Amino acid sequence: MTIKITCSPQIVSYSQINLSLMKPKYLKLFFLIISINLFSQEENKEEIYNKYLRNGAYKYSYYRPEYQTYIDSALVLLPKNAFLWQQKAMPYFKRKKYELGMQYIDKAVLYDDKYDKYLSYRAFIKCIFQKNYNDALTDFDVLISHYNKGLIMDHYFYFYKALCLIQLNRYEEAPKYMNLSMELNIQNGGTPHYLELFYMGIIFYEKRQYTEAIQYFDKSLEQYPNFSDAQFYKAETYYFMHQKKEALEYFIKAKENLDKGYSINEDNAFYEDYPYQIKKWMIKNYFDILDYHQ
C-alpha cells in the first residue's frame, strides 16, 4: 500500500503509502509528522472554541441570533465537530422547534465519537422532547446493544426504552426494561429511582391491576413523599376501585403539593412535560366529579 502525504497550513491528508517498504528512520519521521499534526489540530480546536464559543456564542442567550452566528462560524472551520452540531441544535429543542433541531443533531450523530455520546443525546431528545417514541426506541436499541449499562441524563437506557413502550401502549413489554433499570441501580449500591417506581405504577394502572399500581405508587412516595403526580394517580386508582373517600384524600394532597411545585423534578422537566405529568385542571375535574369545594 502506498500513502501520499499532502500538507497545507491547516490540513494534512494521507492517502496510500507503502509503510512496509519504509526504512525505520523514515517510518519514525512519518509517525512524528502524524503526531505533530494531530496535536496541532487539537490545539487549533481549542483556539476555535475560545474564539467562537467562550468569547463568542456563550456571551449570548441561546435564543439570540448572535449565538447561532458564532456557532456557524466555528462550524466553517470544524465542519465535522459533533459537539458544535449539538450546540447548534440545542436552542431549537428548548424552543420546541424539533424538526429544525433534529437536522443538526443528526449531523452530530454522523460525526459521533466511539462512545455514541450524541446518539444517546438524540435518543433522549426523541423520547422526552420530540415524543417520537418509535424512532427513540430504534436509537435506544442500538445503544443498549453497545452499552447495556449506559446512562443519559441520570437514567439508564433501559428506563427510556420502558418509557417509550409505555407511551406506545405496549404495557406487556415495558416492565421487563423498567425492572432492568431498577436492577442496575440496586447493583450499583443504590435503590430504584422514584420515577422508575412511579412508571411501574403507571404500567399496572394502565393494565387495571390496581392493587399492584398502588403498591408501586406507595414505594415511589416513600422516596419522594410530596410527589404530587404519584398522589394523583394513586387517588385516581382509588376512584376506579370505588373508594371515593380515599380518592378524595389523595386528590387533596396532590393539589396541595402541586401548588407548592412538587412534581417531576428532572432538570429537563423545566422545558418539557414528562409522560403522565399532571396539571391542575386534572385535579379540578375530580373535585367537580366528587362535588368537593375548597
The model's pLDDT over 12-52, given as tens digits with 9 standing for 90+, comes to 333 344 445 555 554 454 444 434 444 445 669 999 999 99
Whether 159 is covered by a domain: the verdict is no
Per-residue pLDDT at 12 = 36
Could you tell me which of 119, 54, 55 has the C-alpha nearest to residue 86?
A: 119
Overall domain count for the chain: 2
Give the residue from 55, 81, 100 where a domain finishes: 55
- CA–CA gap between residue 251 and residue 292 (Å, rounded): 10
Whether 2 is covered by a domain: the verdict is yes
- CA–CA gap between residue 258 and residue 160 (Å, rounded): 24
Domain that includes residue 5, residue range:
1-55
Whether 228 is covered by a domain: the verdict is yes
Per-residue pLDDT at 20 = 53
- With pLDDT > 70 as the criterion, what percentage of the chain qualifies? 85
pTM over 0.95: no
Whether 68 is covered by a domain: the verdict is no
Per-residue pLDDT at 294 = 77
Per-residue pLDDT at 8 = 38
Whether 36 is covered by a domain: the verdict is yes
Cβ-contact 53, 70 below 8 angstroms: yes
* pLDDT level of residue 4 (50, 70, 90 thresholds): very low
Cα dihedral 93, 96, 98, 103 in deg (nearest 10): -50
| pLDDT value at 161 more than 70 | yes
